[in-house]
Structure 1
Amino acid sequence: MNAKTVYRFFLNISSKMLGVTLTKKLDAKIRFHRTLNLQEPTTLADKLCYMELYIDDSVKTRCSDKYAVRQYVADKGLSDILVPLCCEPCSDVDEIDFDALPNQFAMKAAHGCAMNLICADKSALDIRKARKLADKWLHEDYPRACIEPHYKNIPHRIIFEAFLEDAESMIDYKFHCFHGMPDFVLVCGNRVSGVQKRIYTLDWQPVDAMIGEEKGSYEFKKPAGLQRMVEISKILSADFDFVRVDLYDIHGKIYFGELTFSPASGVLPNFSEEFIAEKGKLLDIAGIKQSGRTLI
């Protein structure tokens, strides 16, 4: 049993015995060295975690489901940005027919994060290990283990997406949107030689707000499809107080990645305190409290 598994076991036990609120604060302090104020939330991290724990939003749950969100995107008139599926989703590992899959594909769990396998050549894939990994994902208690309750009602399914060319070197554009308006974009790339990240304004001015190991001066070229990605982000964020819209621009073709409501567990450990304090002002938590939504 590795350290990650042991720690997740600790969070599971803590959530059951101490409740998710205290466990969330403990996790933020232990893992990310960040103190959360959930009584009077002010920073962006405070407010995202408050919303995560106390606001029950079924649409948010649906859109965190990597399979169900596809219909949401299509309903917004954006089916052209969806990565094609190779087959129907599987809720049991015995349903997976690797022989029927194309030579290249991406295997993902629809009910959590960081559960992805990119297959660039099926002849080199250890199918037994891939099945074992898929089975592990299907039994993962992601909501409690990562203190992200909105994942709890997502069906456990494995999906298979078409392989995107240059998948290992493609760049992610993560648009952080407040009340339907994108404000800044976190750009992530260079996975092969080590992930590089940089924050930019919407007019592509770099923002020096990254801290820790991911802080760097790497400069990303302004994508040709930036304006279209901003427009897409506005469309997909219109129904939410906050959401991060993840997109890819591959050789001029824009693809949808996912909608994320609690990026980096909502704690945002790689953003500076000054930055999350500033961006916290953009999120109207008072309006959320008065909106009449049901508390968890």
Structure 2
Amino acid sequence: MRPFYEQYFYNRRPRKSGGEKFLPHFINDFLAWHEESLAETDEVRDPEGWMTACSQLDPKEFRRIVRAGVGGYFRKNGEWPDFCTPASFGGMNILHSLLMPMPRKIPADKLMVGEYIPERYRDCCRPAEVVRTWGPDETPSFEGLAPGTYFLKSNHASAQVMKIVLPCDEATLAEARENVATWLATDYGKQSSQWWYRFIDRKAFLERDLNDAKAEGPLTDFRFHVINGKISVLQMDVGHGTEDRHNPVYDQDLNYLPYNFLRQNLREEPLPENADLARDIARTIGAGFQYCRVDLYLRGREVFLGELTFLPNAGRRHVRSPELDEMICADWDPMPKFVRISGNV
């Protein structure tokens, strides 16, 4: 593909210099670059198994999601996402979201994620147990379920979650039903370039709390960012829901890195004994995509696959440490690729 030469023009016009008025021009230049590069690419996929934003959306809607991705990044960070060189983790993720081929069996579907666990790891890794699901025309009911702690979620979005302790009272059940109705009516990703969420068959589901049986010790939350088949960084989420929440980070060899990632890194945290296994599972799963964040939860000797994410935080959050951002961006070699779905130009 040819480089996005226009990038140099826009880089000199950040938000503080009135750059927002250039957003329509940036989109026009991107679309022209996209059309030319797509016609020249040797990366071609079968439409029966794959889709891209360009192949799946009409031109007007494709333009809208480009604007949502680029404009959202620009307004949040005050600068343009650099599509010429890997200058920021978020910028590369925006570009990747607009170009990436997505399997039609969408891995971002939380109810589908278990199918992406490699066969050789299925004896030691599994998704959380889903005990009930509901479609848009179904009314959630918890009748007949065992007492305990659960999480109510949707399969097509982020941050749509409610903790449920059973048995529950009528007020909790009513709140759960209201949440499900709202979640399943929400076109998640519409205001960003996360276009794939709209093609997920929307459902709500109830899964068992992985921390419900604490005999094996506390739950460890690992988020492996895999770029071009390499573990670029492990983001460990510690103290979720507390004032002490922070994100210690580690490299592909699980060495601690004293840098801030998307949240503050307060200190090194001890890694559990099967951290090597979790890393190997994440790398194997992530190798199927140019970029993927693989979320794994460790409880004692057990490994659970939580979800696969392709544009964390809508690509709008900066890596807090310039040194770490530079290290991660070095893994974008090659940069996000143009992929043509056969029969689509």
- Which residue identity lines up with residue 52 of structure 1 in the other structure? S
Instruction: Give the helix-richer structure, 1 or 2.
Output: 1
Q: For the residues of structure 1 that align with 2:155 and 2:62, how far apart are their CA atoms?
A: 28
Question: 2: distance between equivalents of 1:167 and 1:241?
Answer: 36
Contact 1:41–1:47 (CA under 8 A) maintained in structure 2: yes
Tell me the residue number matched to 2:28. Answer: none
Match of 1:284 in 2: 333
- What does residue 266 of structure 1 align with? 315
What is the deviation of 1:77? 4.6
On the 8 A contact 2:150/2:206 being kept in 1, the answer is yes
When structure 1 is superposed on structure 2, of 183-192 and 158-167 the one drifting more is 158-167
Q: Which of 111, 114, 138 is the equivalent residue of 2:156?
A: 111
Q: Secondary structure at the match of 1:245?
A: strand
Q: Given residue 207 of structure 2, which amino acid in structure 1 is its aligned partner? A: E
Shift of 1:21: 2.1
The CA deviation at 1:293 is 4.9
Partner SS for 1:186: strand
1-structure distance, mates of 2:100, 2:177: 36
The CA distance in 1 between the partners of 2:118 and 2:146, in whole Å, is 24
Q: Secondary structure at the match of 1:197?
A: coil
Q: Which amino acid aligns with 2:99?
A: Y
Name the counterpart of 1:198: 248
Give the Å deviation of 1:112. Answer: 0.8
| 2:229 maps to which of 180, 186, 199 | 180
Determine the C-alpha separation between the residues in 2 that align with 1:244 and 1:109: 19
Task: Tell me if the contact between 1:76 and 1:235 (Cα under 8 Å) persists in the aligned partners.
Answer: no
- CA–CA distance in 1 between the matches of 2:266 and 2:336? 37
Q: Is the 8 A contact 2:251 2:257 kept in 1?
A: yes
Say whether the 8 Å CA contact 1:177–1:242 is kept in structure 2. yes
Query: Over residues 229-250 of structure 1, what are the superposed CA-to-partner deviations in whole Å (9 max), with x where a residue is unaligned?
Result: 0111122112111111111111
Q: Is 2:113 the counterpart of 1:63?
A: no
RMSD of aligned residue pairs (Cα, Å) = 3.0
Q: CA deviation at 1:209?
A: 3.1
Question: Which of 289, 295, 300 is equivalent to 1:240?
Answer: 289
What displacement does 1:63 show? 0.3
TM normalised by structure 1 equals: 0.81
Runs of 5+ consecutive residues of structure 2 not aligned to the other structure: 1-59
Corresponding residue of 1:159: 205
Greater CA radius of gyration, 1 or 2? 2
Distance 1:255 1:28, change over 3 A: same
Equivalent residue for 1:9? none
Name the SS of the counterpart of 1:256 in structure 2. strand
Task: Output the CA distance in 1 between the equivalents of 2:118 and 2:327.
Answer: 34
Equivalent of 1:30, from 49, 66, 75? Answer: 75
Deviates more, 1:270-279 or 1:143-152: 270-279
Counting aligned pairs with the same residue, the percent is: 18
Report if aligned partners of 1:110, 1:158 keep a CA contact under 8 Å in 2.
yes
1:11 equivalent in structure 2: none
Distance 1:68-1:101 versus aligned 2 partners, 3 A rule: same
1:18 to partner: Cα distance: 7.1
Count matched residues: 278
Q: Structure 1 regions of 5+ residues with no counterpart?
A: 1-14
Segment drifting more, 25-34 vs 144-153: 25-34
TM-score by length of 2: 0.71
Q: Which moved more, 1:19-28 or 1:127-136?
A: 19-28
